[in-house]
Structure formats: structure tokens, C-alpha cells
Amino acid sequence: MTFGEKQTDPLAKTHWRGDMQADYFYPAGVAGDKFFKHLKENDSFLATKCNKCDKVLFPARLYCEDCFEEIPDADWMEVPATGVVRLFTIATLNAHGEKLENPKVMALIDVDQTDGAILGVINMVDLNKDYIGLKVKAALKQKEKREGTLKDIIHWELV
């Protein structure tokens, strides 16, 4: 070991290991709460319609994100849990950079009847397939197993 030699491996010498606690708590908020409680009991999504700019906001929001108009209860609407793939990517590595045994198709899905989109995983994996524009449907957990979070959507399947 000389002065100029660079050392990049923290485990090569005497070292200490530790865990940092960094818990993460994210309340869904007023509109999100309503959205997830609906998802828990139903096989559809909630969206809100802004009458001023004629836009259907998904996931449901209390205020229009374009014109800041408040959205009344009457303009909440139910939309089906189906959509069209806008974009997709195929992950072959996990978050630690290790090779995945089963690659994952992750897609941004335009939800039908709305102007919003949601990220999801498509269960059918074909490395040579172009998923853009394909119709998909959310596969939801059994109602009694749902928790009222995004994880209630197991994956999306091609229709």
C-alpha cells in the first residue's frame, strides 16, 4: 500500500457494518384515501372530472392540476380497471444490479376513459414484443386480501 494507491473496497480493511433506520410513511391524503378505499371494495378505479378543462383526472384528485379548480363530489366517477400501454421497459436486473431470473415488463398504462396513467407490471414477458398500444386489464387480489394500497393490483394482463 502506497500513499497514491486508491482504495475503493470498504470491506478490505478493518470496518464496521451498520443499519440505518429510515422508515417511510406516506399517507394517501383525502382524495387518495377515497381512491384506495374504493379499490379495496370494488374492481374498478375512481377518477375525478374537471368540468372547466374537460379533463378526467386519474388517480382521483380534489383539485384540477391544470386550472386548480376544485372538484365537487358529484364529479367523482368510476372507471374500469383497464387501459392501453403507453410506454414500457423490460428490466433484466434487480435493484442491486443482479441478473433477474425472470425479467419484468414494466409499463405506463393510460387508464381507459381518463387522461391519467399508472405504472404497472405486465405478467406476460416476451423480450421481442412491442407492448405499446396493447390493451391491458388489472389483475386484482381477492377482495378479502386487499389492503387498500397500490399492491392490491397484482399485475396487469393482456386482454
Partner 1 sequence: MSDEKKYTGYPPYAPGTHIRESDIQERKISYSWWEPEVQYAWSAGHAMNVFLKGLKNGKIMGIHCKPCKRVIIPPRMFCEYCYGPTDEWIELPDTGIIETYSISYLDSDARRIKEPILIGVIDIDGADPHHGFMHYFGEMSKEEIKIGMKVKAVWKPENEREGSITDIKYFKPL
Q: 29-68: which residues touch partner 1 (CB under 8 A)?
A: 30, 32-33, 35-37, 62
**What is the per-residue burial (b if ≥16 Cβ within 10 Å, else e) of 107-118?**
bebbbbebbbbb
Q: 98-157: which residues touch partner 1 (CB under 8 A)?
A: 147-150
CA of 32: how far to CAs of 59, 67, 71, 74, in Å? 8, 20, 14, 17
| C-alpha cell, 111 | 387508464
User: Do you know the residue count of the chain?
Assistant: 159
> Contacting partner 1 (CB under 8 A), which of 47, 57, 71, 117?
71
Cα 124 to Cα 28: distance, rounded to the nearest angstrom: 30
Q: Which is nearer to partner 1, 59 or 83 (CB)?
A: 59
> Contacting partner 1 (CB under 8 A), which of 53, 72, 87, 132?
72
17 binds partner 1 (CB under 8 A): yes
The residue ranges that bind partner 1 (CB under 8 A) are 1-3, 7, 9-28, 30, 32-33, 35-37, 62, 70-74, 147-150
